Structure 1
């Protein structure tokens, strides 16, 4: 699909939906303004996971549940999103946190991401909502030593706080690949998202790391919305597909996984969405991709 074709189709869809379409160049230009604003944030230096690869041996890793929460970094003074933007947590919540930096997830239990996201993104926190969630800790940013040593320090540190909603994420050993897959399926059957695997001997190091892996029954990734494809048949006059741009610049159309409401009011141009997929084509594009959610700005 050429950029000119994408622009024509997106313009048509915009007219059908009663919205204004901005071509790709305009989308990029508008993003330039937000980039300067985002640059003023002090983005935390955090470890980021890569996908688990077939052939890796889980024996050298500590394995924990991948929580469907909101990542939160405590720098010893302020609770922040991964982007660096301050989280408006109640004063009693941050007052209970130790001076040691923490990396973890704000969590409300499985399959409650939307309610959690709404609660932690309010500019004015609601105490009753924050009393229901937990801050689940999985690392100590910048601390020395192996990960298994840091995990032990997390348990000891949080035990001393005596705060029931501040908890370490359980880390377990898995002996082999077959057991890992069996446990992954059991977790998925219970509503869990998947696993995070962290090499037990790995020192803390910021950035995307081979030592930190995520494993899901179906992996997911983020991409930017760059255009619309109009629907046909029952979807005439609504969204048919999103044209997404991956971080490496490759583009593809995503046409499944949308509700009727999402097709009538699709994600905005320039926004980031999360999609699931089964595997990849030889040229790196996702196979059997399905829309999951809009990635909330932080």
Structure 2
């Protein structure tokens, strides 16, 4: 199988690195990296160094490039860019995507498959999410130091049986792959947690520790999660009955100094995913006639600071 990884940051560097390392010598599968800048230059020079909890790997793709057209048509492309770059990235991938190419986004957000169908207009669009803490430590090196590294994916139009081969490829590379019959449940379950956690840490511009010391903030966090749950259920997503309780338990058990990428990006004045998180919930609430006062407070409060 010919596989391209678009975006070799924390997520793409880990999963793409695992795939490249596993299949470099086997010849059974070819792995290509789409990266840019100094990071790409170092990968071309030395391979990608993946410093993971389970070991350090030198990962050498078949080709690393910033020009997708150099790769040619692929059997699968895995998108690992930031969510706000999805539409631009989709346009750049058109030269390598055919009607039979599987396209798997591993991005934040709950509308990635919809946006891909709109912007690609071809390919077999899947959806997925991952539980991982990883980042570019320096050009050419990706460090993974948290998360259980589980990857969830599935299709909407495709039957699950068609995707079992991809699941085998992932597992053969040491990836904790979980093929889902209803991928929306996995995506919204993660989104419910990360949307509230990212939003509240960005709103108060601090780590989770000081926030959850205040009972009022705990209720605010719970309220944000409940609003996401209400929207998901209105859309027909079969979330677990105790999803808010489970997510609150996870939040309250986090390290005192845990921060979100949204909080860090806003603090440093970088492009951020506010619209992907709380902005999306406010918009969907308006569309579905569901009140979202907690997410609206966070969204508007942060917008007024930007």
TM-score when normalising by structure 2:
0.29
Higher relative contact order (CA 8 A, sep 6+): 1
- Which structure is larger by alpha-carbon Rg, 1 or 2? 1
| Richer in strand (by share) | 1
